Chains A and B, each alone.
Chain A
Amino acid sequence: MAEARDAKGRTPAIPGAKPGGNGSAPEGETQWPLWEVFTQKTGGDPHEHAGSVHAADAEMALQNARDVYARRGAVVSIWVVQSNSVTASPSDEAGPFFDPGADKIYRHPQFYKIPRGLKGF
């Protein structure tokens, strides 16, 4: 699978990605494009990534997601998005990308002092 890794042996960002392009599928074979599925468990919950399905278009992706990820119930809403529409943060830049957010202690309530004994602040 030499075509499926880059010079640094890095692997793709998220499902379906292929650093070497999409050359691993046999000629003329289609399993349809990949979609990411997000399900909401009950109204008010956030949609969470449930997994992926293959589908030729959005309607079919929605139906397939319903049949695959909601067949045991406990889902009230589904989003589908084609996997190649997702932009992911770079993995080997995780440090510069995220660490600067980790030391801003003044963004957290624990940073601030209030007079002792004050309740229900």
Chain B
Amino acid sequence: MRETRPITSAASRSSGPSNELGPLTPSSPIAPSSPPKLFPFLLGLADDRLVLGHRLSEWCGHGPILEEDIALANIALDLVGQATLLLNLAGKIEGKGRSEDALAYFRDGGEFRNLHIVELPKGDYAYTIVRQFLFDVYSYHVLEQLQKGAHRELAGIAAKGFKEVRYHVRHSSEWVVRMGDGTDESHARAQKALDDLWRFTPEMFRPDAVDIEMQEHGIGPDLTALKPQWDGVVREVMGRSTLVMPADSYMIGGGRNGKHTEFLGHMLAEMQIVARSHPGAEW
């Protein structure tokens, strides 16, 4: 029986750590007093996944074929699940009694710390998949580092998420290849999506004060060091896809500081409407 590749070459090339069963950091204490910026750091991680999971869930019932509809829902579920764990932890770290739902449903756009790339509307399937791929590879490397990080609970959540994102990379990279090297139309759509989305990618690797403090505490990754790894994987998959890597372009980000595109407000208005119409209610 022929074994297929264990995972997409994108992910398998990286010799991921073997601690998939949980964080191997027994010596790392649960910080009695967490660094002050851990809370916003967790919000950033959570919001990326909540917002992207939400965008993916918009495909449910509208996918290009049944099998893909099911696949996208699985990925959306993984992401919202990761976000839930992260928001729960953030609420505990904050210590003001805010639950994961309070954080998801009762923060305004300016308090969301997600990257711009995840809040953009879902677009066509090429846009959704290319965005997913660019984020998945980023998330893969972030979670890979986080699971080795000094914060035990966060490392545990990251370890679980890392297993999930390994599959996400496999799914999105294989689709990028099929679109890029499929038909003329699929190639054109994928290339356009890549060209449109490229300017949102530098924000991923631009550390702010929160990231720097987390890195100093051994909790968060060195984002600038992740960039070359991300580049390598993306370049390899683009090569197989016959897609052309766009020239690097600069764009003012700001998602991590609550400065968003116009799209997030609409998304949150929809996401939060029921919860906010009945403050204090249980669901």
Contact = CB atoms under 8 A, between A and B. Distances in A.
> In the complex, is A directly touching B at CB under 8 Å?
yes
Contacts, number: 34
Given A68-B70, A71-B70, A71-B74, A63 B170 contact: yes
**Which size bracket describes the interface of B in this complex?**
10 to 19
Contacts of B4: 58-59, 62
Of B4, B67, B167, B178, most A-chain CB atoms within 10 Å: B67
Contacts of B67: 32, 53-55, 60, 64, 67-68
Contacts of B71: 63-64, 67
Interface residues of A, number: 17
Nearest to B170: A63
A54 B171 CA distance: 16
Contacts of A31: 65
B255 to A, nearest CB: 30
Nearest to B182: A56
B163 to A, nearest CB: 12
Contacts of A60: 67, 174, 178
Contacts of A62: 4
A99 B263 CA distance: 69
B73 to A, nearest CB: 8
A32 B65 contact: yes
Interface string A50-81: 00011110111011101110010000000100
A68 B1 CA distance: 22
Interface of A: 31-32, 53-56, 58-60, 62-64, 66-68, 71, 79
Given A60-B67, A68-B70, 8 more contacts: A53-B67, A58-B4, A59-B174, A60-B178, A63-B170, A66-B167, A68-B67, A79-B1
24 contacts: A31-B65, A32-B67, A53-B67, A54-B65, A54-B66, A54-B67, A58-B4, A59-B4, A59-B5, A59-B174, A60-B67, A60-B174, A62-B4, A63-B170, A63-B171, A64-B67, A64-B71, A66-B167, A67-B67, A67-B70, A67-B71, A68-B67, A71-B70, A71-B74
